[in-house]
Chain A
Amino acid sequence: MSKKILSTVLAITVLVLSFATGCTNKQSTPSTQEKTKVGMVTDSGTIDDKSFNQGTWEGIKKYAADKGTIEEKYLQPSGEQETDYINAINDLVDSGYKIVVTPGFKFETAINKAADAHKDSTFILIDGMPHEEGKFDFVKHDNVVSVFFTEHEAGFLAGVASALSTKTNKLGFVGGMKIPPVEKFGIGFKAGVLYANKTFGTKAEIVDYIYQGTFDDVAAGQTLAAGMYNKGVDIIFHAAGGVGAGVFNEAKQRAEKGQKVWVVGVDVDQYETGKISNGSSVTLTSAMKRIDVAAYDYIDAKLNGNFPGGQIITLSLAENGVGLPENNPNLSADTITKVEQAKKDVLDKKITVPTSEDELAKFMK
């Protein structure tokens, strides 16, 4: 008898717990006035990935906190296939979500289909543009805005800062998958180093330039970082999500022993991620993409009736869409001045940061 009771209790506990897990995202804010429902579907990774998803979600939440006119919710799709994304979008639209924000290029084909199916809904596609599967021609939908960033400009500034800060003159780059935004970060980084070498007479060299191939292999990140640091590299720029977590881990362990090694963060200000036990951080600076700003701005545009539907918009250094963090405690005053100068050169169009290897070959020649 007692066995039966025990097993029932266990079964119920398991059920309750798994239910509780499923319900974490539910919003329970009863509202008196009509609020626009804004939904978000997460890309690979979770909502608190300290990167893409989190940035987008923070932008949406900030809007909700600032204006109070929206009701927000996010869904994590059950997989990373197009059908999973479409299902998640359909779920949101079916429960009355008028604006759907989707971060990441993986949504491109899903949004292309969903935008046709749900003409009344508005889609904000960050870092991608709707296109058909297999073809890469932009398909215009009046209810979709595509927001891109000039990652190469952020990477460029990170490259300049790294070239000016390195003591060993050896730099490394760890990319995740070889996809356009990651590549642009990398090319910009190379260009930044080149610029610093030519303009400020630094002698920095990128000795390792690697795409790990995933965004989630933490162990590989540590292995790669260890190999690079062993070779004398002292600054690694990562554009690799979870792989970057491994890079940070290796850098922090070395910093705890007193070694002078640095990591350049990506997407968001990763200063906190790099903190070690004495309170300092291994994060030299971060090549930021203001994903939060993009989400915030285009929700605002939609609600105020000036939504740039059907357009492809690129947020650049000029719009503050990309750049380095405002505070960089690990950069010297001299470096900051010189980075500002580089930034000014880009803004004044004295130089154009390359976006491909071909352009890079011609850059500063």
Chain B
Amino acid sequence: MWDIITNIVPLALAYTAPLLIIALGGLYSERSGVVNIGLEGLMGIGAFTSALVISKTAGNLGHTAVYVGLLAAALAGGIFSVLHAFASVTMRSDQVVSGTAINILSAALTVYLARSLTGSANIQIVSGFIKRDVPVLSKIPVIGPLFFREAYITTLIVFLIVVFSWFILYYRPFGLRLRACGENPQAADSLGINVLKMRYIGVIISGVLAGLGGGIVITTYSGEFSPLVYSGLGFLALAALIFGKWNPWGVVGASLFFGLAKTVADMSKLFEGLKGMPNIIFNTFPYVVTLVALVLFSKNAAGPKAAGEPYDPGKR
């Protein structure tokens, strides 16, 4: 049994990392009051950019290219999210419609660009990040084999960003202002906070993080950009955000939960002890749980109160 667990947990963590960072991106956006259903598209932009940059620069930069690719992915996600911010914050359009447009545009645009720039919709990278044992830490009994063996460096980066985000959101004035804009923008405005600016920042951070998530997908478990990148990870991240009740640690828990369910579902075919388990339950798990969570939590609305509403200073 222990053998199975040490096999599953590191892989589950690898799958969780991009999910978590995309969900965290969604958290910034929604906390600022903008629903971001376009996470999937922003992730795709990041995935495409990282694959393109890495495949073009790997010859000169070697392994550094992978980090350059990640940065480029975050940057591209951030830039692309300005579209969403412009439409939903400045133009006060329906945030769901604008987010959907981002998804549609991204899926078409990236495949088109991939074809016209490289001649194929599949951009392969020769090497991404490699799972390694963390020195010293992987020797700790119990925790070592679970969390520090066969780990990607990106997982560590993601968890650092989560801790940092939690600190920023709950212990710095910036976080308070951002959250205020998502709860009661009129009140925030009356206290001199530039709501539009805060919302732009929220959306752009979500773009940066979702783009980074896409880059992580490419450099860890996917290895190539293809239309298959749009497999719904962004929507799963939204589910994790809701299930995690728009709270960084809740999102961590939800993402881990989903990542673990997915990995157990995949791995169950490999181990005698798990073969009897019904696969379909694990595979549908995240979605069923999210539905149930929505039903249970919708009454005492855990989400930011003003999320989804364009800010209208004239409205009270």
- Which residues of A line the B interface, CB within 8 A? 3, 6-7, 10, 14, 17-18, 20-22, 24, 45-50, 208, 210, 212-213, 216-220, 222-224, 226-228, 230-231, 242, 245-246, 248-249, 252-253, 256-257, 273, 275-277
Contacts and interface: CB of A to CB of B under 8 A. Distances in A.
Given A48-B121, A219-B262, A252 B223 contact: yes
Top 5 A-B residue pairs of the complex, sorted by shortest distance between their CB atoms: A249-B223, A21-B112, A223-B266, A21-B108, A220-B266
Contacts of B91: 3, 7
Interface stretch (B128-136, B291-299, B302-310): B128-136
Given A18-B105, A246-B223, 17 more contacts: A3-B91, A17-B112, A18-B109, A21-B111, A48-B120, A48-B121, A49-B226, A210-B269, A222-B14, A223-B266, A227-B270, A245-B223, A249-B223, A252-B223, A253-B128, A256-B130, A273-B124
B135 to A, nearest CB: 15
Contacts of B121: 46-48
25 contacts: A18-B109, A46-B111, A46-B122, A48-B115, A212-B266, A212-B269, A219-B15, A219-B221, A219-B231, A223-B266, A224-B270, A226-B150, A231-B270, A245-B222, A245-B228, A246-B223, A249-B223, A252-B223, A253-B129, A256-B130, A257-B130, A257-B132, A276-B126, A276-B127, A277-B58
Given A18-B108, A256-B130, A277-B126, A224 B266 contact: yes
B83 interface: yes
Nearest to A23: B112
A246 B90 contact: no
Contacts, number: 125
Contacts of B109: 17-18, 21
Contacts of B278: none
Nearest to B270: A227
Contact of B105 (A14, A220, A276): A14
B227 interface: yes
A182 to B, nearest CB: 15
Interface string B127-148: 1111110000000000000000
B267 A227 contact: yes
B57 interface: no
B224 interface: yes
Interface residues of B, number: 49
Mostly, the A contact residues are helix
A256 B112 contact: no
Contacts of A45: 227-228
Contacts of B120: 48
A220 B15 CA distance: 10
B11 interface: yes
Contacts of B83: 10
A257 B63 CA distance: 13
B108 A217 contact: no
A95 to B, nearest CB: 22
Interface in B270-299: 270-271, 279
B222 A10 contact: no
A210 B268 CA distance: 11
A210 B105 contact: no
Nearest to B93: A7
Nearest to B233: A219
Nearest to A224: B266
- Give the interface centre of B7, B221, B263, B265 by most chain A CB atoms within 10 Å: B221
Given A48-B122, A226-B11, A228-B270, A218 B221 contact: yes
A242 B228 contact: yes
B105 A252 contact: no
A209 B150 CA distance: 24
B300 interface: no
Nearest to B110: A21
Contacts of B265: 220
B101 interface: yes
A249 B221 contact: yes
Nearest to A172: B270
Given A18-B105, A223-B11, A218 B127 contact: no
B190 interface: no
A217 B231 contact: yes
B159 to A, nearest CB: 19
B60 interface: no
A1 to B, nearest CB: 14
Contacts of A208: 269-270
B86 interface: yes
Contacts of A213: 279
B91 to A, nearest CB: 6
A6 B111 CA distance: 26
Contact of A24 (B62, B116, B266): B116
B241 to A, nearest CB: 20
A320 B124 CA distance: 29
A328 to B, nearest CB: 21
A38 B22 CA distance: 43
A230 B145 CA distance: 13
Contacts of B267: 223-224, 227
Interface centre among A7, A24, A218, A226 (most CB of B within 10 A): A226
Contacts of B86: 6-7, 10
Contacts of A227: 7, 11, 267, 270-271
Nearest to B107: A21
A265 to B, nearest CB: 14
A267 B83 CA distance: 41
A253 B58 CA distance: 16
A220 B11 CA distance: 10
Contacts of B90: 3
